[in-house]
Homo-oligomer: A and B are copies of this chain.
Amino acid sequence: MTKVVDLLTKARQGHVGALARLLSIVENEDAGAAEIVNATHANTGNAHIIGITGPPGAGKSSLVSVLVAAYRASYPRVAVVAVDPSSPFTGGAILGDRIRMRDRFLDEGVFIRSVANRGHSGGLGRAARRIVNVLDAMGFDIILVETVGVGQEEVEVVRVVDTVCLVTIPGAGDDIQAIKSGIMEIADVLVVNKADRPGADRAVKDFTQMLTLGAPRLDWKIPVVKTSSAANTGISELIVEIAKHRAWAIESGDAKRRVLEANRNEVEALLRERVLRQLAAQLGDGRFDETVARVANREIDPYGAVDLLLGSKLDKSPAVGVSAGT
C-alpha cells in the first residue's frame, strides 16, 4: 500500500488517483485518516464551498455543470462533490449523472467525486465535509456540493457549506407552501431554475414575497435568481449573488460560525468514536452479547443492562474509558 505521505505529495502535484485515494481514506476513516487530516487541516479555509440543493427534478445536475464551466473561466481548479443519500432502492441514479458530467468535462481543472450512502458512522454530512476539507487543502478554489434531494440528510449535508443555493423550478406552486418552513433555515440564495419555462417570473415574485414575510436571518437578505441551464442565462447573476453572500458571511462573522460548527461536529464525532471504541474493547464482546441476550429473553430491561455493564466494568477496572494519546 502506498504510504499516506506519498499520496499527499502526489496529490499536491495534481495526481488525480492519489487524491481519490486520500478522499476514500478520510471518507471511510480508514487507517491513515488521522494522518491526512493532521497534514491538511491547517491548509483548509481557502476554498469557497457552495451547496446546491433542491427537490428532484429541479435540474440541479445541469445547473452544476453550467456553474462549473462558468467558474472555470476564473478559477484554475473546481471540484464537485455529489452526495446521494438515496435509498438502496434508488441508488445509482446520481452515478449516471456523474458519468455524463465527467464526459462533459474533459478538463483537468475539474474534479468530480460522489459520496454515496454507505453507512458512514457520522452521517453523510460529516463524510462530505471531510472530503471537502481535503479538496480545500489541496488547492481547489471552488467546491460545489450537490445533493440529490432536500430531505433531512441533505439539510445536514449542506448546513455547513459556506453558501447554500436552494434550486427550485417555475410552476412548483404547491411546493412553495411545502418548502416554506425549511427555506429560511438553510437557503442563502434561492434559484428559480428552468426559467425558460412559463411561470418563472411568477415564481420569483412568489418567493420574493414569501421571503419578505419571513423573519430575516441575521442581516442577509436572501436573493432570488432566475437561471436556465439550457439557455445558459442567469448564471453570471447567480455567481455574483453567491460571491456577495460569501463577502457578507466573512464580514458578518457568519462564515466563521459555520466553520466552528463544522469543526465542533467533527471533534464531537471523533471524541465519541474514540471513547466508544475503548469502552467496547474493555467490555468485551462476550459480556455485551450475553447481556443483550438476557434483554432479548426479557430477564432484564435495556436500562438495567446498561447499569449491569457499566457497574461491573467499574468494579473490574477503576481507571477506565479513556486514555491519553491514541
- B-contacting residues of A (Cβ < 8 Å)? 34, 37-38, 41-42, 44-45, 55, 85-92, 117, 149-152, 154-155, 178-179, 181-182, 185, 256, 259-260, 263-264, 266-267, 270-272, 274-276, 279, 288, 291-293, 295-296, 298, 300-307, 309-311, 313-315, 318-326
* Chain B nearest Cβ from A92, distance in angstroms: 8
CB contact between A42 and one of B272, B288, B298 (< 8 Å): that residue: B298
CB contact between A267 and one of B152, B272, B295 (< 8 Å): that residue: B295
Q: Which residue of B lies closest to A320 (CB)?
A: B321
Instruction: Tell me, in angstroms, the Cα distance from A167 to B84 when the chains sit together.
Output: 24
Copies per complex? 2
Determine if B293 and A260 form an interchain contact, defined as CB atoms under 8 angstroms apart. yes
Instruction: Tell me, in angstroms, the Cα distance from A266 to B272 when the chains sit together.
Output: 17
Q: Which residue of B lies closest to A90 (CB)?
A: B178
Instruction: Tell me, in angstroms, the Cα distance from A42 to B301 when the chains sit together.
Output: 7
* Chain B nearest Cβ from A238, distance in angstroms: 21
Determine if A88 and B298 form an interchain contact, defined as CB atoms under 8 angstroms apart. no
Which chain B positions have C-beta within 8 A of A324?
307, 310-311, 314-315
Determine if A279 and B270 form an interchain contact, defined as CB atoms under 8 angstroms apart. no
- In the assembled complex, 29 residue pairs joining A and B whose CB atoms fall closer than 8 Å, in A order, are A34-B303, A37-B301, A37-B303, A38-B301, A38-B303, A42-B298, A42-B301, A87-B149, A87-B154, A89-B178, A89-B179, A117-B152, A151-B151, A256-B296, A260-B292, A260-B296, A266-B295, A267-B305, A271-B279, A271-B305, A272-B276, A275-B310, A275-B321, A307-B324, A307-B325, A315-B324, A319-B319, A321-B321, A321-B322
